[in-house]
Amino acid sequence: MVDLVKRIDRRFYPDFANYWDDALFRKVVLAHLRPHMQVLDIGAGAGIVSHMNFRGLASKVCGVDPDARVATNPYLDEGKQGVGEAIPYPDERFDLVLADNVCEHLESPEQVFKEVSRVLKPGGLFLAKTPNRCHYMPLIAQMTPFWFHRWVNQKRGRQEIDTFPTVYRANTATALQRLAINAGLVVESIRLTEGRPEYLRFSAFTYMFGLAYERLANMSQTFASFRILIVAVFRKPMPS
């Protein structure tokens, strides 16, 4: 069975590796990142996602997370324990704010977006990656208990302590656009992507279902709203 999964990998997804979504988001961040920038990583955590290591590529990389381990995150020049609803930094401090798999956990996304807008300099960017609520995986997640989420992520190599409850209140293109506009941000792009079906690779049977879904979702823009990954780029406008 494992050999068959690997054969499907080679045949249909030769350019995909583990955590391809984080690799994709890293490319987006690097396309906008400049050496002079002050960067804030919301939900930086303990630093378990190596793709989010931008230390040394910007003037300073700061991070905020409710988890106290953020203070020792090796990918940050400075980590502060805190929440997105009350970011512990002054107004117009950062050139770029990023959120990798954070929006799905936000209880009050309206307040978080307003706080992001507050700490951004005029012309600054907010980059966010999050799963699409309309995809089958978030739909399954919303119908299953939290212990199941921890069990699945543990099977995929993530510790229980690094799995957090999801609410999916900022997880469609429409919701993100509304939140950004209400926070005074301009929508530069919202891209939806369907890639290798990671959560279904535990067996050849489920993998084939995921493969069929992926081909259908990528067949036409008609099905774009059912793709798994949302990557959004917002900008704080310059004063008129």
Closest CA to 136 of 193, 230, 199, 192: 199
Token pair, residue 220, equals 């036409």
Count of CB atoms situated within 10 Å of the CB of 92: 14
Burial class of residue 35, CB neighbours in 10 A (0-12, 13-18, 19+): exposed
When pLDDT is averaged across residues 202-223 and rounded to a whole number, the result is 94
pLDDT: is 214 or 155 the higher one?
Answer: 214
Q: What tens digit of pLDDT does each residue of 115-167 get? A: 999 999 999 999 999 999 999 987 777 766 655 545 555 655 555 555 567 88
pLDDT in the model for residue 162: 53
C-alpha to C-alpha distance for 234 and 177, rounded to whole angstroms: 9
Count of CB atoms situated within 10 Å of the CB of 148: 12
pLDDT in the model for residue 167: 87
Count of CB atoms situated within 10 Å of the CB of 55: 15
Q: What tens digit of pLDDT does each residue of 60-89 get? A: 999 999 999 999 999 999 999 999 999 999
When pLDDT is averaged across residues 174-179 and rounded to a whole number, the result is 98
C-alpha to C-alpha distance for 224 and 218, rounded to whole angstroms: 7
pLDDT in the model for residue 139: 78
- What are residue 100's DSSP bridge partners? 129
Query: At residue 93, does pLDDT exceed 80?
Result: yes
In the chain, domain spans: 2-235
Closest CA to 142 of 168, 172, 175, 163: 168
Close Cβ partners of 203 (under 8 Å, ≥ 6 residues apart): 1, 5
Q: What angle (nearest 5°) sits at the alpha carbon of residue 148, between those of residues 143 and 150?
A: 125
Closest CA to 51 of 41, 59, 38: 41
Closest CA to 240 of 159, 122, 150: 122
Close Cβ partners of 42 (under 8 Å, ≥ 6 residues apart): 63, 64, 65, 84, 87, 97, 98, 99, 102, 112, 116
What's the CATH code, domain 2-235? Answer: 3.40.50.150
Q: What is the CA radius of gyration of the chain?
A: 18
Query: At residue 109, does pLDDT exceed 60?
Result: yes
- What are residue 99's DSSP bridge partners? 42, 128
Q: What angle (nearest 5°) sits at the alpha carbon of residue 4, between those of residues 3 and 7?
A: 90
Q: pTM to 2 decimals?
A: 0.90
Count of CB atoms situated within 10 Å of the CB of 213: 19
